[in-house]
A and B are shown apart, each in its own frame.
Chain A
Amino acid sequence: MSDWFNKTAFEIREAVAQGDVSAREVTTSFLDRIEAVDGAVGAYTQLWNDDALAQADAVDAKVKAGEALGALAGVPISLKELICTTSGETTCSSRILNGFQSPYNATVTKKLLAADAIVLGKVNMDEFAMGSSTENSAIQKTANPWKLSCVPGGSSGGSAASVASATSALSFGSDTGGSIRQPAAFCGCVGLKPTYGRVSRYGLVAFASSLDQIGPLSKDVRDAALALNVITGKDPLDATSADLPAEDFTQALTGDVKGLKIGLPKEYFVDALSSEVRTMVEASIEVLKAQGAEFVEISLPHTDYAVAVYYIVAPAEASANLARFDGVRYGFRHPDAKNVAELYVKTKTEGYGKEVQRRIMLGTYVLSSGYYDAYYLKAQKVRTLIKQDFDEAFKQCDVILTPTAPAPAFTMGEKSSDPLEMYLNDIFTISANLAGIPGISLPCGLSESGLPVGLQLLGKAFDEATLLRTAHCYEANAGISLGTPPIA
């Protein structure tokens, strides 16, 4: 039994294609790994062992027959609970979708299956992606593999925890305000939020439609590029997906950043940033400087307003997106409703967790009669200013470098009492969603307490190539290999 679970998706795909290992053997290795460690981590909410092995056998049959293999042939992956799959359930880690079987596959699911990826199962998240710690899941707790008493981040906490604990080679999550990048930072893996419109949202259960984007969490940057290759593309079912020529992002990983201009936004290196994180991020600057990148100080003057804008726009959209969960067509339905009004009220009140109710209330309020202009419209205008900040900044630089989160993972329960404090934790990641630009988080070391710290790079819209090239160059030269944490 070899430790295939410790290999990257790229390595696994190569080995399977070469016939060095069977997809079944790889899959078994991962399933055994899940058996061994996921009891402690709690990343998986659903495990599809039999389906996964059947998929693996199908890949092996293709190898044997000499048929063309998909780009992720034999690579075991996991999917966040909000990506629709006809297999199993799609619960968004909410009671209100308990038992929900989607009648269709998300476009991303289809693309992954077509690429011969092996879907091991689904992973935990904050209910409807609302949260930064995965503590808002109605299903279970997920631990940070580096320190089980700490949160894995969120909302794609299950995805990050499964990649970090080597229970999936790749995981696909969603990022509305940092929900891929922040858990990637907390768990020490790579998390990529593509440009809005780069990846189809069809079949991604919506939290905030103008901000949501699916992306991969991976062991390294090359895997992120490989995964992005598979999931991108214009989707006729998603009117907001971009029509762009296909790109092979792995080709962008040249290792060369000479002359590349990297912006350092002064508004991100502020008091809220822990000194430990600041030191590690500054060290990463030196790594890229040594490779020939040039650094310029830039300003994103409206950064301080991003959290306020985000917590108006996202809940407003969510308040409508979540209205459909009413117990009529699918999901949980309160058994004691005497009339339609009661059906809605009882179903929703019992079906949603606290944080979801809080955001629905916020979102409903800011859209309600008399408050629309003061909150929602105002926020959308400031959103324009935030976008313009980036437009200006990208005239001076190609990539922007920041910390991903102000501090490493916090302890479970530490921040759940004050929602505003929890929201402010998203301060460095939110702007990218508001502006629609791509961002990536990658590990830049371990804190004194043994927790990973994340470095964030932001790119121009649809310029994932430069983003990935920079990230890859850093990764190759930083000499930081966190490896797989000992889980105990």
Chain B
Amino acid sequence: MSTISKSDVAYVAGLAQLDLDEAATARLVGEMNSILGYMEKLNELDTDAVEPMMHAMALTNVFRDDEVKPSLPRELALRGAPLHDDEYFLVPKILDTEGGGA
């Protein structure tokens, strides 16, 4: 597998919304190369015919009924928000209408 470069670390930090300074980037280049290098041992195994394991238990079809349950009182929903106006959670003004979306 490939080795992790500085720009790889910067790209991943961007995805993870982390701002890494020079020192942190350099440190992570080293650490991630060491850790991911260790992961290479997995390539010793032929797993072509192996199903991936996503859950520790073989459960299927666990559902809830379509019933309305009480929501949180708004006061409680907003209580922990660093910034709110008693109606909305507030974030710095979003100028860009793109992004997000279902």
Assess A/B contact in the complex (Cβ within 8 A). Answer: yes
Binding site for B on A (CB under 8 A): 99-101, 103, 196-197, 210-211, 236, 239-240, 242, 302, 304-305, 307-309, 311-312, 319, 326-333, 337-346, 348-349, 352, 357-358, 360-362, 364-365, 368, 374-375, 377-385, 387, 419-420, 423, 433-436, 461
Excluding A333-B82, A419-B31, A434-B53, 7 further A-B contacts by CB distance (< 8 Å) are: A197-B59, A240-B55, A308-B39, A328-B81, A340-B94, A365-B4, A379-B42
Beta-carbon contact of B18 and A357 below 8 Å: yes
Beta-carbon contact of B17 and A197 below 8 Å: no
The CA-CA distance from A304 to B41 in the complex, in Å, is 9
The 6 closest A-B pairs by CB, nearest first: A436-B56, A330-B80, A380-B52, A333-B82, A196-B56, A381-B47
CB contacts (< 8 Å) of B34 on chain A: these are 419-420
CB contacts (< 8 Å) of A381 on chain B: these are 47, 50-53
Beta-carbon contact of A211 and B81 below 8 Å: no
The CA-CA distance from A331 to B82 in the complex, in Å, is 7
Beta-carbon contact of B89 and A329 below 8 Å: yes
CB contacts (< 8 Å) of A342 on chain B: these are 92
Beta-carbon contact of A242 and B59 below 8 Å: yes
Q: Can you list 9 pairs linking A and B with CB atoms under 8 Å apart?
A: A196-B57, A239-B59, A302-B45, A305-B45, A346-B19, A361-B16, A380-B54, A383-B53, A420-B34
Give the residue of B38, B79, B89, B94 whose beta carbon is less than 8 angstroms from that of A101. Answer: B79
Binding site for A on B (CB under 8 A): 1, 4, 8-9, 11-13, 15-20, 24, 28, 31-32, 34-36, 38-39, 41-43, 45, 47, 50-57, 59, 62, 64, 72, 76-77, 79-83, 89, 91-95
CB contacts (< 8 Å) of A304 on chain B: these are 41
Main secondary structure of the interface of A (DSSP, over half): helix
Beyond A103-B77, A349-B18, whether A368 also contacts B41 by CB under 8 A is no
Beta-carbon contact of B91 and A210 below 8 Å: no
CB contacts (< 8 Å) of A360 on chain B: these are 16, 18
Beta-carbon contact of A337 and B92 below 8 Å: yes
CB contacts (< 8 Å) of B9 on chain A: these are 361
Tell me how many residue pairs across A and B have CB atoms closer than 8 Å. 158
Beyond A348-B18, A378-B42, whether A420 also contacts B35 by CB under 8 A is yes
- Chain B's nearest CB lies how many Å from the CB of A458? 14
The CA-CA distance from A240 to B13 in the complex, in Å, is 31
CB contacts (< 8 Å) of A357 on chain B: these are 18, 24
- Chain B's nearest CB lies how many Å from the CB of A206? 14
CB contacts (< 8 Å) of A308 on chain B: these are 38-39, 41-42
Beta-carbon contact of B89 and A361 below 8 Å: no
The residue in chain A whose Cβ has the minimal distance to the Cβ of B82 is: A333
The CA-CA distance from A343 to B90 in the complex, in Å, is 11
- Chain B's nearest CB lies how many Å from the CB of A382? 6
CB contacts (< 8 Å) of A343 on chain B: these are 91-92
Beta-carbon contact of B80 and A100 below 8 Å: yes
The CA-CA distance from A376 to B44 in the complex, in Å, is 16
